[in-house]
Amino acid sequence: MSYSIQYHKKEVIQGLRYHFMKQSEIKVLMVIVNIYAIATAYLLYIKKIRPELFLLGSVLWMVLMLLFWYAIPLVFYRKTELFKWDWTFSFNEHKARLYSEKGEAEWNWSEVTHYFDSPLFFHFYFSPKSFFIIPKQNIPFEDQHIVRGLLKGK
C-alpha cells in the first residue's frame, strides 16, 4: 500500500508538541514545577511566605510552557528540512518505506521500539530520542488500523 503524504507546518508543530510533552524528562519537570506552584500558593495563602516565591513559580511555569509548547517545536520544524518535501509512504507486513526525490528511509516494523497516535500523526520511535512522524491525513482509516495492528503485533 502506498500513499502520498505532505507535511503542513501548523500540523507538524502540533505533532511535535505531542512528542515533546510525552518525553519523560519534560513530564517530570512539569510535575515538579506544578508541585512547587501548588505548595507556594498554599504557603502564600496561609501567610508563611512572601508573594515573590509564588510569583517565581508562576513565571517559571509560564516560561516552561512557552518553551515546550511554542519555541522548541518551532525551532525543530525550522531545522528539519524533510518536513518541507512531499513524500510517499508505503508499508507491508514486514517493513515501511518513506521516499521522495530528496531521499528515502526504510525500516522493519521490529525496529520500532514504540509508537503512539496523536490526532494527526503516527509517531514511530526507534530509540528514546530517534523518531519519525507520519501524517494520517491521506491514509484511509482502514489502513491506519492495519498499521496499528502491525505495530501491536511486533
What does the domain layout of the chain look like in residue ranges? 2-7+81-153, 9-79
Q: Give the Cα separation of 154 and 5 in Å (integer).
A: 24
Spatial separation of the C-alpha atoms in residues 152 and 139, rounded to whole Å: 18
61 pLDDT higher than 90: no
Q: pLDDT tens digits for 24-57? A: 999 999 899 889 989 999 999 999 999 998 898 8
Name the percent of the chain in helix, strand, coil, to the closest 5: 55, 25, 25
On the question of pLDDT at 150 being above 90, the answer is no
**26: burial class by Cβ within 10 Å (0-12, 13-18, 19+)?**
middle
Q: Is the per-residue pLDDT at 128 higher than 90? A: no
Global pTM value: 0.82
According to CATH, the topology of domain 2-7+81-153 is PH-domain like (2.30.29)
**Cα 144-123-29 angle, rounded to 5 deg:** 145
* Closest-CA residue to 82 (of 138, 134, 21): 134
